[in-house]
């Protein structure tokens, strides 16, 4: 079907944590430089190499950031969930391009902001920038955790990814005792791509863990049943 765009309003912006504390007139100004984008599975918010002249904030659904390797294989760099910001390079530099392609993994709603209009609208609203900086810091922390894990054995990488995805946002892996774990809605091929291994290897490891009762899995999703054991694997114990 392809992406659809429609006008947004200040109430939609108010649903997002980074904008919830703004005055009505500030949200009104921001809504005039945004549009609501509706996407279906496999729709692309932007393509690698396209001019980075805007960014997106997810309201619902999941989006994977991917690159295609020289051998033609998909490499998933990150899976964004609400209220993640996507395409933030548009805010940090001018005349640049998107470093990866943003692909909808399911039905998606996202706010799209053009760079120039957004910067003009928030020039007198430091609270907006503060909210975006918090989100960027969270994103960088998530990416650092996963990239650090890439130096470890593949089982350790998969365990780190599962806990990271199952925990609430902004939580350390060691917080597994404090919070209920969410279902991880990633296919085995995506899990393999994120941690830098083959789909076959990911399937083999996850199947072994399932037989041991560490996880449960259905088509396209995984549940951590024994978080203590998965945490120990993630720590290399």
What CATH number should be reported for the domain holding residue 49?
2.60.120.10
- Per-residue confidence (pLDDT) for residue 76, from 0 to 100: 85
Across the strands, what pairs with 57?
85, 111
Which residue's entry shows tokens 């005055």?
A: 23
The residue among 86, 117, 144 that closes a domain is 144
Q: Which helix (H) or strand (E) holds 189?
A: helix 188-195
Number of domains in the chain: 2
Q: Residue 80's closest CA among 190, 179, 1?
A: 190
pLDDT mean for each 10 residues of the chain (237 residues)? 77 73 78 89 94 90 88 82 82 79 94 85 68 63 58 86 87 89 91 86 95 92 95 88
Tell which residue, 102, 95, 92, has the closest CA to residue 48: 102
- The reply to whether 107 and 78 lie within a common domain is yes
Domain boundary among 144, 171, 201: 144
| Cα 234 to Cα 153: distance, rounded to the nearest angstrom | 9
The predicted pLDDT at position 30 comes to: 81
Torsion (CA) 12, 16, 20, 23 in degrees, nearest 10: -50
Same domain for 108 and 210: no
Angle at CA 143, nearest 5°, toward 174 and 22? 90
**Does 175 lie in the same domain as 139?**
no
pTM of the model: 0.69
Verify that 38 and 93 share a domain, yes or no. Answer: yes
- Do 79 and 192 lie in one domain? The reply is no
The pLDDT, as a whole number, for residue 144 is 56
Element spanning 36, H or E = strand 34-39
Nearest Cα to 58, choosing from 104, 110, 6? 110
Closest to 102 in 3D by CA, of 18, 60, 161, 46: 46
Range of the domain at 38: 4-144
Task: Please indicate, yes or no, whether residues 26 and 136 belong to a single structural domain of this protein.
Answer: yes
pLDDT value at position 215?
Answer: 96
């Amino acid at each position: 079907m392809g992406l659809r765009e429609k006008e947004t309003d200040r109430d939609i912006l108010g649903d997002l944590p980074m904008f919830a504390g703004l005055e009505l007139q500030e949200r009104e100004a921001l809504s005039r430089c945004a549009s609501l984008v509706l996407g279906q599975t496999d729709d692309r918010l932007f393509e690698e190499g396209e001019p980075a002249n805007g960014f997106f904030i997810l309201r619902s659904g999941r989006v994977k950031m991917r690159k295609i390797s020289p051998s033609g294989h998909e490499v998933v760099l990150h899976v964004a969930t609400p209220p993640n910001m996507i395409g933030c390079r548009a805010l940090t530099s001018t005349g640049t391009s998107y470093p990866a392609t943003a692909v909808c993994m399911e039905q998606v709603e996202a706010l799209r902001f053009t760079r120039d209009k957004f910067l003009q609208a928030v020039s007198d609203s430091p609270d907006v920038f503060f909210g975006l900086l918090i989100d960027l810091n969270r994103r960088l922390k998530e990416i650092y955790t996963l990239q650090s894990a890439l130096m470890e054995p593949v089982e350790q990488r998969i365990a780190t990814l599962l806990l990271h995805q199952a925990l609430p946002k902004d939580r350390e892996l060691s917080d597994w005792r404090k919070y209920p774990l969410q279902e991880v809605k990633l296919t085995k091929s995506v899990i393999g791509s994120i941690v830098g291994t083959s789909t076959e290897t990911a399937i083999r490891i996850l199947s072994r863990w399932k037989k041991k009762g560490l996880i449960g899995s259905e088509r396209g999703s995984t549940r951590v049943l024994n978080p203590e054991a998965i945490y120990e694997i993630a720590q290399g114990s």
